[in-house]
Structure 1
Amino acid sequence: MNLDDTPQAGAGRVPAPSPAPRRRTLLRTAVTGAAALGAGLAFDASPAAAGTTAPHRRPATPAEALRELEAGNRRWRANHQRHPDESPSLRRELTSGQHPFAVVLGCVDSRVPPELVFDQGLGDLLTVRSAGEVLDEAVLGSVAYGVLELAIPLVVVLGHQSCGAVRAAVETEESGEPLPAHVQYLADQIAPAIDHTVEGDARIDATIDAQIRLVRSRLAAEPDLADKVASGRLAVVGARYELTTQRVHRVA
């Protein structure tokens, strides 16, 4: 997956929970600990990284999880998918429990299914999807469930090229014309990420990256997640999928 910070051509700017549940707010602006997100972690682009994680071996650290996703994305791009973890025996095994190694918070776009673009199978990824990676309490609770209850060491906020939800947010702000009912809610949540330093398609593209960064920062501000990031047990990273190349790369 080459989660480095190199922009793509045409990509613009490219354990248990506490005893008393705390009320969470998605509007907090604090990004304490955000600078440490994924620090020291990068996807190894070398061919030697492919297949280093044996089939059905659960990566136990953030770095191992990143390497496994990178290897899977490279197989996807080369049309060498393994379609792992689909056997009848594994399906029977999974009836007794699950041990996914990464949470992927992605967009609902039908062109970006995480299990396919990372060449993973049943029980490998905990996927949470909302248009434009918009956070609400249900989405946040789903991510927290993966980290706190399933001890998942990696959260990837996965945006993508040509995101329709981001385009709608930018265009409705520019035109002043409201979107239908619940779609306007999505636009309102994406609005703080709109990049006003550029115009046209460049604004949409830059806002895609800005939304990835904003969501990543909001997740990092959650105390339970931030504690795990600080201790090295969790990495929260931003990434972007390019429809034109099928490559996933890091959004710093």
Structure 2
Amino acid sequence: MTLTFLLGCNNKTNDKKINMTATEKLKSILTEQYISEDGDKYKVELKEGLTDQQIDDLAKKLPTGQVPIEIRELLKFTSGFEFYGLEEVTFDGIGQFGFENFFPNSVQLAGDGFGNFWILDVDKKGNWGNVFYVCHDPAVIVKHSENLTQFIEHVSDFGKNGNKSNLDIIHEKVVMDIWSKDNGFIELENARQSNDTILKNFAQTLPDSFVIADLRNKPIQSGFAWGKYGPNIDNAKRHENELIWGVEKQSKKGLISKLFGR
């Protein structure tokens, strides 16, 4: 009976950790002490929180014009924090990232100082969803965290475990693996013949020159090489409601075509 009781308590504790809000998760790591590569000790340094008016102004940039209650709580507590190894982590970078063909609505969370960013995807209903690492060299998108709470946990894990952390593994290894070994795409014809109605219907809206990336229900560290078929992504298309993308396979032009613009 004692063992059962203890297991029950542990499960409740684990459930509480899983169900933490972003604010609760951030508060839970404020007392953590980390050590930099140079051996210097550091902690999370919070930035100033936002006023209700500032949050309302940010909300105007979101699809529904509303900030979720949990996010409003977070923004009032702090707009972000300083953390060694990242430029800074911000929660108010709504609409700053661009790249709208892939992420029509997003929050830029952090950068690595080399032109690569961690962004949070906001769906058209205003839900703050998965966090993605968007890399330009190689040109890969990776699902980094399930949500903002887990992203904060992953940042803390990076501070504790360095190259063994999810953040560093994605940053250093996963992007290269996706680029060189598995570009993460589904051939269009295969998608058109799929039993998955959502995937099939989306595939049927795309020209024959496209391939599809599908990250629905995929685990973290899954991704696709968005730039595998060239840097021109003007024709890339995102599914209206799902984590599905269509990317054009640009044909390579011969010398004559290049000369005459064909």
Same fold (TM over 0.5): no
Structure number with greater Rg is 2
TM-score by length of 2: 0.25
TM-score by length of 1: 0.25
Query: As a proportion of its length, which structure holds more helix?
Result: 1
